[in-house]
Structure 1
Amino acid sequence: MHNAGVSPAPRLRALGALAVAALLSALWLLWLLRSAPGGAPAPQPTITILIWHWPFASQPPELPSNTCTSYGVAHCRLTTDRSLLASANAVVFHHRELQTRQARLPLAERPQGQPWVWASMESPSHTRGLGRLRGVFNWVLSYRRDSDIFVPYGRLEPREGPAPPLPAKSGVAAWVVSNFQERQRRVQLYRQLAPHLQVDVFGRASKQPLCADCLLPTVARYLFYLSFENSQHRDYITEKFWRNALLAGAVPVVLGPSRVTYEAFAPPDAFVHVDDFGSAHELAAFLAGMNESRYQRYFAWRDRFRVRLFGDWRERFCAICARYPHLPRGQVYQDLEGWFQA
């Protein structure tokens, strides 16, 4: 008599198929868990950013491994160790040190395909030597909104809790300036304003320098602050607007890019733009004749926003890691000068 049961070979094949199906199900479940919100995230590799020469410093600051974590950027390592050139994910060069020849590009040792970042927060008027950097850099870090790594001097962020009271005012207008040159438009405008408006000038130019901790409390006593940029360029809005005026609690009177550009960064009623007036005399009359209720409207933004400054180069360099997955691979700035001067 023959055994009517299933022979061993098909039974083994069936068990094997079940085992494979179970394994595939387990792998599928694991993938779902890792990709689902709140699931176990896949481990991310650390991105190493080599800063070739620390901006404006002979000695870099200490860069512990949690430097970028403190700015809300994970898996990011900043280093100034040039021996890591071959393995760094990107290398940053600050333009001032290239311009003054304090730093030189290691072109001969550059690893194939390694992205290089050109970094500068200066205006085109104070930037020289870009012509010799053709075809070198892949990404740009600057205050320009069309930069690969856009880092403004400041921004408005939602406020939590009530705004602090405005400081008491005892002066009309203040200006802090060190680089005072008659050919600058800001100096020419000041010369035209001064006969019609009381402007107190501080800084090296007036031989009344302010200590670092004295600037904000000094400016806070004034109704207006002359947020005059040293040169007028696309998106060039510096700490003269963010810190010296808005953070101090004075209304900024701005000379820089167009009103439309300022309105991309701040509400239209947060500042006075010099271009809105036909003459310096007209501007002075507007400022001197402003009543209290009109003046207070310039601070309506403080109920909703607070000023956040971005003055630390560590935070600026950590932003490279935050943008890293989205940065264009294979891009090269063949005419960096043409781009920056535009």
Structure 2
Amino acid sequence: MAVMPKVTSGLGWEDGAWGEPKETASLPVSCAGVSPAPRLRALGGLAVATLLSTLWLLWLLGSAPGGAPAPQPTITILIWHWPFASQAPELPSNTCTRYGVAHCRLTTNRSLLASANAVVFHHRELQTRQARLPLAERPQGQPWVWASMESPSHTRGLGRLRGVFNWVLSYRRDSDIFVPYGRLEPREGPAPPLPAKSRVAAWVVSNFQERQRRVQLYRQLAPHLQVDVFGRANKQPLCADCLLPTVARYLFYLSFENSQHRDYITEKFWRNALLAGAVPVVLGPSRVTYEAFAPPDAFVHVDDFGSAHELAAFLTGMNESRYRRYFAWRDRLRVRLFSDWRERFCAICAHYPDLPRGQAYQDLEGWFQA
């Protein structure tokens, strides 16, 4: 993951701005006729100076005299067009609070363009011309965010966006706002029992094209491995609530990405396999990339085998003890999905203080294709 430059701020003042009280020699006070007034005046002056110093420090720290911290300003994120929808979901004021992000407001009200702290543009709507960039009305210095969770193979029109966007929100680890499709988090409490298995391998696919590497690999596997294919491509679609219990009955799930690109690991890995309780057989980025997201013994990578026949022999020859080792991670980790665009957009506020100012992607296409 790329390390982004941090924007830091601090409070302080130059040494000696207040000065230090000078030491004074102790004077003997006789009992006969020496007035204590000078000493009282000195003590009074010191008390006043201390009080002023305290009040000044409180002011610097943004606190009221009663100790209550100054309210943190709310960050307004304008979503220019809601992804894959003609209408946005409800966005109450506590939307981001639900995801652990405070002082963050999501809105689709375009009349707030001039005052928004950042504006987000989802690429699919720019690509299909459903949305257009308000370049003429853009306030000077306003950060614009390019958002996409699609692979470069399904992304067009980046060449006309040179110098437009300041930040990127995507699944790429070197994005300004990195939002993966999922991740493993520490588990609290015992793991649920592993579902009973009655079938060998499943694959849910809708976009089935012979030129795709995943289809070619499936064709090579099918003679040696029992694979049940679901989805529109095989005229066996699964309802939204049917996918997980269906896949749970299988030993393996083919987590084959539609294209192979840097960090492109989608719900096919996180939801369809790991969350369902099947061992993912992955086709995507390199094994090293997968190991940045999951333990090395949580999946089977196709690149570890010289041929589809070798892969099939490994899967069909696996004994129960070896198979269960692929689920050792479940004792300490659980799957968390990031599928809600509201949560993805709230992440902008979470990263906002540390996001780089003054940068612009002069070659967004070159960066994304790398």
Q: Fold-level match, TM-score > 0.5?
A: yes
Larger Rg over CA atoms: 2
Q: 1:32 — aligned with what?
A: 60
How many Å apart are 1:31 and its aligned residue?
6.7
Deviation string 1:278-304 (CA, Å, 9 cap, x unpaired) is: 000000000011000000000000000
How many Å apart are 1:42 and its aligned residue?
3.9
**1: distance between equivalents of 2:346 and 2:222?**
43
**1: distance between equivalents of 2:66 and 2:217?**
57
Deviation string 1:78-137 (CA, Å, 9 cap, x unpaired) is: 000000000000000000000000000000000000000000000000000000000000
- Is the 2:58–2:64 contact (alpha carbons within 8 Å) kept by the matching residues of 1? no
SS at match of 2:41: helix
- Is the 2:282–2:302 contact (alpha carbons within 8 Å) kept by the matching residues of 1? yes
Query: What TM-score does the superposition give when structure 2 sets the normalisation length?
Result: 0.87
How many Å apart are 1:12 and its aligned residue?
11
**2: distance between equivalents of 1:188 and 1:35?**
64
Deviation string 1:231-252 (CA, Å, 9 cap, x unpaired) is: 0000000000000000000000
1:136 to 146, 160, 164: 164
Structure 2 alignment gaps of length 5 or more: 1-31
**2: distance between equivalents of 1:306 and 1:36?**
43
- Is the 2:64–2:70 contact (alpha carbons within 8 Å) kept by the matching residues of 1? no
Deviation string 1:155-174 (CA, Å, 9 cap, x unpaired) is: 00000000000111010000
- 1:69-148 correspondence to structure 2 within 5 Å: 69-148=97-176
Query: What TM-score does the superposition give when structure 1 sets the normalisation length?
Result: 0.93
How many Å apart are 1:310 and its aligned residue?
0.1
**1: distance between equivalents of 2:209 and 2:127?**
22
User: CA separation of 1:278/1:40 partners in 2, compared to 1, >3 Å: closer, same or farther?
Assistant: farther
User: CA separation of 1:25/1:297 partners in 2, compared to 1, >3 Å: closer, same or farther?
Assistant: same
**Matched length:** 339
SS at match of 1:35: coil
**2: distance between equivalents of 1:55 and 1:248?**
26
Identity of aligned residues (%): 95
User: CA separation of 1:318/1:39 partners in 2, compared to 1, >3 Å: closer, same or farther?
Assistant: farther
**1: distance between equivalents of 2:215 and 2:98?**
40
SS at match of 1:31: helix
How many Å apart are 1:44 and its aligned residue?
1.2
- Higher mean alpha-carbon deviation, 10-19 vs 48-57, is at 10-19
User: CA separation of 1:42/1:94 partners in 2, compared to 1, >3 Å: closer, same or farther?
Assistant: same
User: CA separation of 1:33/1:79 partners in 2, compared to 1, >3 Å: closer, same or farther?
Assistant: closer
**1: distance between equivalents of 2:295 and 2:65?**
35
